[in-house]
Every structure is written in structure tokens, then in C-alpha cells.
Amino acid sequence: MDHSTLDQLLNEGLEAITQSESLKSLYDVKVKIIGKNGLLSEAMKAMGKLPKEEKPAFGKKANEVKQAFEKAYEEREEALRQKELHERLSEEEIDVTLPGKTQFMGGRHPVGLVIQESVAALNRLGFSVQTGPQIEEDWYNFEALNIPPDHPSRDMQDTFYVDDTHVLRTHTSPIQIRSMLKSKPPLRIMAPGSVFRCDSDVTHSPNFHQIEGLLVDRKVSMAHLKATISFVLKELFRSKVEVRFRPSFFPFTEPSAEFDCSCPMCSGKGCRVCKQTGWIEIGGCGLVNPKVLEACEIDSKEWQGFAFGFGIERMAMIKYGIGDIRLFNENDLRFLRQFQK
């Protein structure tokens, strides 16, 4: 073992560094030459057998070899890093002329749009939004609304019962009761919300939405009710629509009516949407039954009220010409994107 062995080792190392074409192979060279069990370490071990006076010079030389190797290694490492970076960047080059990926913006659900527009219209008339629980007490959903125990809507066929005294609310009308118990008249409230019935076909869903309107004041008449409904429907359809009342029955209103509007699709001439009748059924309404006012501790001699409720999905189907109510719950983006503004 002498100095020329170390020189040879350095030359071999430098040669191997120059020939390394990747960081990985360069690292392998480092391990082979100056690693813990590398050739330089072997040479240093052999130093032990040298005569004492030769050891310092050999050690110094070995250090110089190591430093020279490390310097060359670092330079090559930096060069290879730059090369790899350059190669990666040129592979990743962006062709700005390629067509981009379409970015879809989220939009409102058609049911949400109709709720939003109904709320805005009623807001303009001074109605404010009230809410109530979806799991409702029997008393609010039926009893206080003058719906007797033997009324067909209480049938298990129509109502989802949670237990003996709780149901999934079948309409938004219980919010009338909650509002009248909470605030003294005069009052004007609206209540948009999710409701539930055992019902399912192309125009009926087990979970749909209604919006309720309630006004309690002095000298309230059917004329006020009709004017309010007409205003809301005109706002919703953004067209001149006629409103007609047909006598009907709801235990919580007296007199009661169902209200229709002239078909906004054909302006009342008759088309597929209105089944050639020129009219479309929208919801139920009437003057608040005095029994309901009394259940809410409101003096029915002094105060009268009107109330109405309509189905949001039904409204959206008419407004947007949708033939199947189930489309609202399928989350099919091809359907939903049609309502983006």
C-alpha cells in the first residue's frame, strides 16, 4: 500500500463519477469509494501495517483523496440534479394551445330555486320565514289543525309514524300553529320545508317540499287571499297568469279552496302540461278555521286569517316542464346543470 494506490483509487473514482448518468449510479460510486466499507476505508485499514514514520504522510494523502473525491462528487451531483430537473420540466411542458378541461360551476337545485323565488315574492308582501321540526308532534300536525283522529290523512297509508305521538310532518301547516302560539296577531309568516307522505309515482314523492303562507289580522277576506296567491304565482312564472279557486275541504280552513293557475306553458289554450284543460292545480288554501285560532288562544271574533300551501316540486315541474318528479332526487348532473344560471 503506497501513495500511488491512493492516486489510482482517486482516478478510478473520478472516472466513475464522470461516467455516472444518474443520481442513483452516482450515489453507488460514492458508497463504493468512500462508504463505510468502501475502497478508501479498506486502504485506511491497511495503513495500520505501514511503518510508523510513513503513516502521517499516508493519512494526509488519504484525506486529500477523500476531499478531492467529495468535491468532484458534489459537482457531478449538482450537474445531474440540474439535468434531471431540466428533463422533467421539458416533459411537463404545458401546451397552452390544447383545449382546457371544462370547469363546471355548482348551481342551485330547481327545488331550491323555486323556494328562493317564492320566499322572495312573499317577503315583498311582508311575510317572514318560520321553521318547525320535521319530526312533528301529532298535536301540531293534526289535532290543533282540527284534523280529527278518524281523518283519512292520519291513516298509516299516508303518514309515516315515528311513534304513537310523533309523525314525519305530512305538510307545512303545523308551522301555522307554532307561529300562532309564539306570536300575537297581526302576523304574516311563510314556512318553506320538507314534508313526508307514503306516496310515490311520477307526480308524487314520499319526501317533497311545500311552502305555507299564513296571515292573521282584522277583516281578512278571501279577496286578500286570492290577491296574495296571484301575486306569488305571477312572480314565480314571470308571466300573466290567472288564478281560480275551486271549492274544497281542509279541516283547518273554512271556507276552503283548491287553487289553480292558467297554464303558463300555453297561456290557458290547452297543452300536454295542463292535460288540455288550460288550468294547473297548484295547492290548497282558505280562511283559517276559527277552531284553529281558538286552539292557538286567538280570539276568533276579533281576528281572522287566511292560509295557503303549495307543493314546490309540483311548481318546479310546471315552471321548467319536467315530466317526472323522481328526477329531482336522482342527482343526475346532466339534469341539474340545465338549471345553472
Residues within the interface to ligand FA5 (CB under 6 A): 171, 173, 197, 199, 204-205, 208, 210, 212, 250, 253, 281, 283-286, 307-311, 313-314, 325
Per-residue cell: 2: 503506497
User: Measured from the CB of residue 174, what is the shortest distance to ligand FA5 in angstroms?
Assistant: 9
Closest distance to ligand FA5 from the beta carbon of 93 (Å): 55
Output the CA torsion 246→251→255→257 (10° steps): -20
* Residue 38 or 213 having the CB closest to ligand FA5: 213
Which CB, 146 or 173, lies closer to ligand FA5?
173
What DSSP designation does 1 have?
-
Residues with Cβ within 8 Å of 157's Cβ and at least 6 positions away in sequence, in order, are 198
CB of 133 to ligand FA5, least distance (A): 16
- Which CB, 40 or 327, lies closer to ligand FA5? 327
Shortest CB 242 distance to ligand FA5, Å: 18
Rounded to the nearest whole angstrom, what is the least distance from the CB of residue 103 to ligand FA5 in the complex? 34
C-alpha distances out from residue 307 to 81, 168, 235, 256, Å: 77, 21, 19, 9
- The rounded distance, in Å, linking the Cα atoms of 16 and 245 is 97
SS3 (DSSP) at 88: helix
With respect to ligand FA5, which residue has the nearer C-beta, 58 or 196?
A: 196
- Sheet hosting strand 135-137, strand order edge to edge: 135-137, 166-168, 161-163
Taking the least distance from each CB to ligand FA5, the nearer of 50 and 322 is 322
Q: Which is nearer to ligand FA5, 151 or 337 (CB)?
A: 151
Q: Minimum distance between the CB of residue 99 and ligand FA5, rounded to whole angstroms? A: 42
Closest contact distance (angstroms) between CB of 116 and ligand FA5 is 18
Q: Tell me the residue nearest to ligand FA5 as measured from the CB.
A: 311
Contact 289, 146 (CB under 8 A): yes
In DSSP terms, 246 is beta-bridged to 258
> For residue 128, what are the contacts with CB-CB under 8 A and spacing of at least 6?
188, 189, 190
Kindly tell me which of 64 and 324 has the beta carbon lying closer to ligand FA5. Answer: 324
Distances in Å between the Cα of 337 and the Cα atoms of 66, 106, 116, 312, 340 are 68, 8, 18, 19, 5
Distance of CA 264 to the CA centre of its chain: 30
